[in-house]
Amino acid sequence: MDIRILQVGHFTPPMEAALAAEFDVHPLWKEADTGAFLAHRGHEFAALTTTGLIGADTALIESLPALKVIALRGVGCDKIDLDTARRRGVAVSNTPGVLTDCVADTAFAMILCAGRNLCTADRFVRRGAWVQGRFPMGTRVSGKRLGIVGLGRIGQAVAQRAAGFDMHVRYYGTRRNPEVSHVYEQSLLELARWADFLVITAAGGPGTYHLVSADVIAALGPEGFLVNAARGSIVDEAALVDALVHRRIAGAALDVFENEPHVPDALLGLDNVVLLPHMASSTTETFKAMEDLVLENLRSFFRNGRLITPVL
């Protein structure tokens, strides 16, 4: 196909080879002055490929006057200016479903790591501290109360895993899900008060910015744990850091942060927080499935004008 695609952000080598075999792809990161390049040649591109961590802001979309479609590798569209895309008539696709299991696996691993202090225990053994005494006791996970913020595909997959640990599940979201039997809490504050573990699997964006506020964090109490496998923007990070430093909650496990890849310095020396590098979906199987779907969306759009997994 003689279709020019602007690529923003790296894909895996097989995906980049597959894209280049079917389209005329230009990696934006190869340009020393991206602004000047887009000003002179932005009109050449009919498609944009990007990742969930990079997205496509207003300036980028507006610099591509011939843009027809944005194909995103990832589920969250919070870093894509959907209003501008909608106004311009630009179609947008993402890759839902294919990363559900790996993100849910990681979220549940984070629950176990936080409750049982597994990462701290690993460091305890490595530094030779075991010969000096026993490792402190952790918190039982099985049978505990699990509150889920956002019971979409990933939230339901976390709940499914929790069933194997005989956990009691309740959830909070923008609306009750009639297809599940779990108790729906009308208030996130009440869910936090009830939960032993509060897991965030909601979508990012303006609608959920700092949804997990200082009050919600405080409601977890000194025996509660916060687990975030969604977006850093959903949590008031300053309030969370303060609660962890002063031990007002038992602990946290975080795969995402407000200013990635920068992590607050105050968290780095704490033993009551698990810190991960936004890796919940990072498996070879999931990335292949996501990138296959990106390619299929592009093929479908330029073949018949329809996306397989449309956002817009």
- The stretches of 75-130 forming alpha helices (DSSP H) are 82-88, 100-116, 118-126
DSSP type of residue 206: G
- Cβ burial of 49 (10 Å; 0-12, 13-18, 19+) is buried
Catalytic residue among 153, 278, 296, 299: 278
Q: What secondary structure letter does DSSP report for 234?
A: G
Residue (of 160, 188, 163, 161) closest to 173 by Cα position: 188
Q: Is 278 a catalytic residue?
A: yes
Rounded to whole angstroms, how far apart are CA atoms 207 and 204? 7
Helix, strand and coil content of the chain, in percent to the nearest 5, comes to: 40, 20, 40
Catalytic residue, chosen from 231, 237, 258, 291, is 231
List, edge to edge, every strand of the sheet that includes 273-275: 183-184, 168-172, 145-149, 197-200, 225-228, 251-254, 273-275
For 56, which DSSP code?
B
- What are the phi and psi torsion angles at 54 (to 5°)? -100, -50
Q: Which residue reads 């397989």 in tokens?
A: 308
The torsion defined by the Cα of 20, 26, 29 and 32, in degrees rounded to 10, comes to 140
43 is catalytic: no
Cβ contact 278:232 at 8 Å: no
Catalytic-residue membership of 303? no
Looking at 87, 260, 285, 306, which residue is catalytic? Answer: 260
54 close to 28: Cβ distance less than 8 angstroms: no
What are the b/e assignments for 218-248, b being 16+ CB within 10 Å? bbbeeebbbbbbbbbbbbbbebbbebbeeee
What residues are labeled active site?
231, 260, 278
